[in-house]
Chain A
Amino acid sequence: MSESLLKFFQETGFAGATWGNIVMILVSFLLLYLAIKHKFEPLLLFTIAFGMLLTNLPGAGMFHSELFAGGHVHWGSFVQNAGLLDYLYLGVKLGIYPCLIFVGVGAMTDFGPLIANPKSFMLGAAAQVGIFLTFIGAIALGFTPAQAGSIGIIGGADGPTAIFLTSMLAPELLGPIAVAAYSYMALVPVIQPPIMRLLTTKKERMIKMEQLRPVSKTEKILFPIVIAVIISMLLPSAAPLIGCLMLGNLMKECGVVDRLSKTVQNELMNIVVIFLGLTVGATATAEAFINLKTLGILLLGVVAFAVGTSGGLLLARFMNLFLPEGKKMNPLIGAAGVSAVPMAARVAQTVGQEANPSNFLLMHAMGPNVAGVVGSAVAAGILLSFLG
């Protein structure tokens, strides 16, 4: 009897628990708390946290990282040993989920403010400086170039892009990078305002921008086609992300496939978010997460965000030197160049209204904001072609 009880106890997760499992389970509880109580990017942080919980339950064997060791799928043992999360993880490993999410993001994005004010593209480009400076910083901290590129892309403030690039370049860092990217995206209203106030004067923050010109439907339809063709021709490695983003946008703008547009915005997006979050969370095992590298990634992630924000702000100020009075732009919209749609644009609006309550920057900030999405996808393509 006692032997049977002992055997039963030895088979339970409690007997096999390591301190690493316990720490990771506590981390997953913390992330669940942040997602549920404080609504920190709940759609993804919630599922990531639950995936993290499942993968760290001792003895459950929900996810087998050894099937994906060395950066490729071991198909021979995969068929025999793979479980649900392993099968779902194939969508991340093969770069399917981020692209499907980009179709949904495209269908939900209005590129009108960017078409009306093409200068916004430059603000979106300048904000990508965070990616490349963080890449250098990560190399200095001892990461390999492929890992450093994946860490740098956190500065793009674009979850699917970060997951896409990391799954290609450094899949062993997928868990910490995804957690860092989504946590910092949720913390944009905390990270950005002090930098915005530091790098701009009150007079600049008070600048009112003239109303954007109306954009015709034809322009909105041609925009995704032109961007997809030009960027994919110039940078084929960015084609999956840019192509999917523009496919979704064309579905929305053309107006003849409303059913498809609604599906990619809702059902498809939601299903993929569940699969993506769960499987990315599942990669955050104790061995992969509890080490100094994770600490370095979290540190470099916040640096990437801060540098990206500064890049957009400073370029906007620089461009103002050449713009005539009355046409000057409020430099706060430059900070929205770090993707994080639409949170960064909302932060620009809030900080702008603090300085001048009659100022409405939201639509102006949406231009650099969506340009940041394009910019970070281009940066990911460049890093993939250089380091992949």
Chain B
Amino acid sequence: MTQIDWSSILTVAFIGFSLVIVMLLLMVFVMKGFGAVFTHQRKKQSPSQSEVDGETVAAIMTALRLFSSARHDRETEMLTILSIKRAYSPWNSKIHGLTQMPDYRK
């Protein structure tokens, strides 16, 4: 069996992992810079948007939804009956639910 050169193996592993970390760390900074530029641009374009928080938007949307659902449209007048198959269980069994005829003894 050949002798393992542990120092070079550990060096490859350590430098390899460090390189992955460094490269993706670089990506973090690049994307942070990216994000800062674009967020800044968006704020400049629509300053009023930042004043409306998520909860306010949700409240407006809920009010609109309630308003629109209160107005009845003409319905299709079509009834659809779905057939539902349930797995057997003693709880839904008609045999156990209906009155049983008593055994007739002679």
Contacts and interface: CB of A to CB of B under 8 A. Distances in A.
A140 B6 CA distance: 9
Contacts of A131: 16-17
A118 B23 contact: no
Q: Is the interface of B mostly helix, strand, loop or mixed?
A: helix
Given A132-B13, A136-B10, A216-B38, A122 B54 contact: no
Contact of B35 (A115, A133, A375): A115
B37 to A, nearest CB: 9
A230 B13 contact: no
A223 B38 CA distance: 12
A139 B4 contact: yes
A142 B1 CA distance: 9
A338 to B, nearest CB: 13
B11 to A, nearest CB: 9
B12 interface: yes
Residue from the set B1, B12, B24 with the largest chain A CB neighbour count within 10 Å: B24
Contact of B20 (A116, A125, A133, A135): A125
Nearest to A222: B34
A300 B42 CA distance: 48
B26 interface: yes
A240 interface: no
Interface in B2-50: 4, 9-10, 12-17, 19-21, 23-32, 34-35, 38-39, 42
A222 B33 CA distance: 13
Nearest to A234: B23
B13 A374 contact: no
Q: Is the interface of A mostly helix, strand, loop or mixed?
A: helix
Contacts of A231: 23, 27
Interface in A366-388: 371, 374-375, 378-379, 382-383, 386-387
A382 B13 CA distance: 10
B27 A227 contact: yes
B12 A387 contact: yes
A382 B39 contact: no
Interface in A200-219: 211, 213, 216, 218-219
A235 interface: yes
A115 B34 CA distance: 9
A383 B26 CA distance: 19
Nearest to B9: A139
Contact of A375 (B20, B26, B31, B32): B20
A158 B30 CA distance: 25
Contacts of A136: 9-10, 13
Given A139-B4, A142-B1, A386 B28 contact: no
Interface in A138-181: 139-140, 142, 145
Contact of A383 (B9, B10, B16, B34): B16
A223 B35 CA distance: 11
Given A118-B27, A145-B9, A226-B30, A382 B16 contact: yes
Given A121-B27, A231-B23, A375-B20, A135 B38 contact: no
Contacts of B26: 230, 234
B20 A128 contact: yes
Contact of B28 (A118, A132, A219): A118
Interface of A: 114-116, 118-119, 121-122, 124-126, 128-129, 131-133, 135-136, 139-140, 142, 145, 211, 213, 216, 218-219, 222-223, 226-227, 230-231, 234-235, 371, 374-375, 378-379, 382-383, 386-387
Interface of B: 1, 4, 9-10, 12-17, 19-21, 23-32, 34-35, 38-39, 42, 54
